[in-house]
Protein backbone atom coordinates (compact mmCIF):
# COMPACT_ATOMS: atom_id res chain seq x y z
CA UNK A 1 0.00 0.00 0.00
CA UNK A 2 1.24 3.50 -0.81
CA UNK A 3 1.81 5.58 2.32
CA UNK A 4 1.31 9.34 2.34
CA UNK A 5 1.65 11.47 5.45
CA UNK A 6 0.25 14.88 6.29
CA UNK A 7 1.34 17.36 8.90
CA UNK A 8 -1.58 18.51 11.03
CA UNK A 9 -1.21 22.15 12.13
CA UNK A 10 -1.57 24.57 9.19
CA UNK A 11 -1.96 21.57 6.89
CA UNK A 12 -4.52 18.85 7.63
CA UNK A 13 -6.45 21.22 9.87
CA UNK A 14 -7.52 23.01 6.65
CA UNK A 15 -10.78 21.73 5.13
CA UNK A 16 -9.51 21.74 1.53
CA UNK A 17 -6.54 19.59 2.54
CA UNK A 18 -8.86 17.27 4.47
CA UNK A 19 -10.91 16.93 1.29
CA UNK A 20 -7.78 16.02 -0.66
CA UNK A 21 -6.69 13.50 1.99
CA UNK A 22 -10.18 11.98 1.91
CA UNK A 23 -9.93 11.59 -1.88
CA UNK A 24 -6.62 9.77 -1.48
CA UNK A 25 -8.13 7.45 1.14
CA UNK A 26 -11.04 6.68 -1.20
CA UNK A 27 -8.51 5.83 -3.93
CA UNK A 28 -6.86 3.34 -1.58
CA UNK A 29 -3.85 5.28 -0.32
CA UNK A 30 -2.60 4.64 3.19
CA UNK A 31 -2.92 8.10 4.75
CA UNK A 32 -1.08 8.93 7.97
CA UNK A 33 -0.52 12.03 10.09
CA UNK A 34 2.95 13.03 11.26
CA UNK A 35 2.85 16.01 13.60
CA UNK A 36 5.46 17.79 15.69
CA UNK A 37 2.97 17.93 18.56
CA UNK A 38 3.41 16.20 21.87
CA UNK A 39 1.60 12.91 22.30
CA UNK A 40 -1.17 12.92 24.91
CA UNK A 41 1.04 11.49 27.64
CA UNK A 42 3.78 14.08 27.19
CA UNK A 43 1.23 16.89 26.90
CA UNK A 44 -0.47 15.77 30.13
CA UNK A 45 2.89 15.72 31.92
CA UNK A 46 3.33 19.34 30.83
CA UNK A 47 -0.13 20.28 32.10
CA UNK A 48 -1.98 20.32 28.77
CA UNK A 49 -5.19 18.32 28.99
CA UNK A 50 -6.95 17.43 25.72
CA UNK A 51 -3.95 18.77 23.78
CA UNK A 52 -4.82 16.74 20.67
CA UNK A 53 -8.62 16.89 20.82
CA UNK A 54 -8.86 18.97 17.62
CA UNK A 55 -6.48 16.67 15.77
CA UNK A 56 -8.40 13.55 16.80
CA UNK A 57 -11.69 15.12 15.72
CA UNK A 58 -10.30 15.60 12.20
CA UNK A 59 -8.55 12.24 11.94
CA UNK A 60 -11.64 10.45 13.26
CA UNK A 61 -13.79 12.20 10.65
CA UNK A 62 -11.36 11.06 7.93
CA UNK A 63 -11.20 7.51 9.27
CA UNK A 64 -7.48 7.69 10.08
CA UNK A 65 -6.88 5.30 12.99
CA UNK A 66 -4.91 6.49 16.02
CA UNK A 67 -2.11 4.03 15.27
CA UNK A 68 -1.49 5.97 12.04
CA UNK A 69 -0.78 9.22 13.89
CA UNK A 70 2.88 9.91 14.62
CA UNK A 71 3.63 12.43 17.37
CA UNK A 72 7.28 13.52 17.16
CA UNK A 73 7.24 15.52 20.41
CA UNK A 74 8.99 18.36 18.57
CA UNK A 75 11.76 16.23 17.09
CA UNK A 76 12.39 16.32 13.34
CA UNK A 77 9.81 14.39 11.35
CA UNK A 78 12.45 12.95 9.02
CA UNK A 79 13.66 10.76 11.88
CA UNK A 80 10.20 9.20 12.25
CA UNK A 81 9.32 8.88 8.57
CA UNK A 82 12.63 7.60 7.20
CA UNK A 83 12.61 4.00 5.94
CA UNK A 84 8.94 3.47 6.85
CA UNK A 85 7.62 3.17 3.28
CA UNK A 86 6.23 6.67 2.86
CA UNK A 87 6.30 8.14 -0.64
CA UNK A 88 5.06 11.67 0.15
CA UNK A 89 4.75 14.02 3.09
CA UNK A 90 2.74 17.26 2.92
CA UNK A 91 3.66 20.04 5.33
CA UNK A 92 3.75 23.82 5.79
CA UNK A 93 7.15 23.91 7.55
CA UNK A 94 10.15 24.46 5.27
CA UNK A 95 12.62 23.25 7.91
CA UNK A 96 10.80 19.93 8.19
CA UNK A 97 10.46 19.67 4.40
CA UNK A 98 14.16 20.36 3.83
CA UNK A 99 15.14 17.64 6.31
CA UNK A 100 12.67 15.18 4.78
CA UNK A 101 13.87 15.92 1.25
CA UNK A 102 17.57 15.77 2.20
CA UNK A 103 17.58 12.87 4.67
CA UNK A 104 14.97 10.46 3.29
CA UNK A 105 13.66 9.03 0.03
CA UNK A 106 10.31 10.69 0.72
CA UNK A 107 9.18 13.63 -1.38
CA UNK A 108 8.26 16.49 0.93
CA UNK A 109 5.78 18.95 -0.57
CA UNK A 110 4.85 22.38 0.75
CA UNK A 111 1.11 23.01 0.92
CA UNK A 112 1.55 26.71 0.13
CA UNK A 113 1.03 28.19 -3.31
CA UNK A 114 -2.55 27.87 -4.40
CA UNK A 115 -3.15 24.50 -6.02
CA UNK A 116 0.46 23.97 -7.04
CA UNK A 117 0.99 21.52 -4.16
CA UNK A 118 -1.96 19.45 -5.33
CA UNK A 119 -0.65 19.41 -8.89
CA UNK A 120 2.79 18.30 -7.62
CA UNK A 121 1.22 15.43 -5.68
CA UNK A 122 -0.84 14.31 -8.67
CA UNK A 123 2.20 14.50 -10.96
CA UNK A 124 4.34 12.43 -8.59
CA UNK A 125 1.61 9.84 -8.14
CA UNK A 126 1.18 9.62 -11.92
CA UNK A 127 4.91 9.05 -12.46
CA UNK A 128 4.76 6.20 -9.96
CA UNK A 129 1.98 4.70 -12.07
CA UNK A 130 -0.43 5.11 -9.17
CA UNK A 131 -3.95 6.25 -9.92
CA 97, distance to chain mean position in Å, is: 11
Rounded Cα distance between 60 and 74, Å, is 23
Query: How do residues 111-125 score in pLDDT, each as one tens digit?
Result: 987 889 999 999 999
Domain ranges of the chain: 3-127
Beta strands in 38-85 (DSSP E): 69-71
Which residues is 88 bridged to in the sheet?
Answer: 4, 107
Q: Which CATH code for domain 3-127?
A: 3.40.50.1000
Query: How do residues 98-111 score in pLDDT, each as one tens digit?
Result: 999 999 999 999 99
pTM listed for this prediction: 0.94
Amino acid sequence: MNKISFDYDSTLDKQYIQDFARSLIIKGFDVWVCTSRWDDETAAEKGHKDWNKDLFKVTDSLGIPREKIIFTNYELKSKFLKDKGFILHLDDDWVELNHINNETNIVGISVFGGNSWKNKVKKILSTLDIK
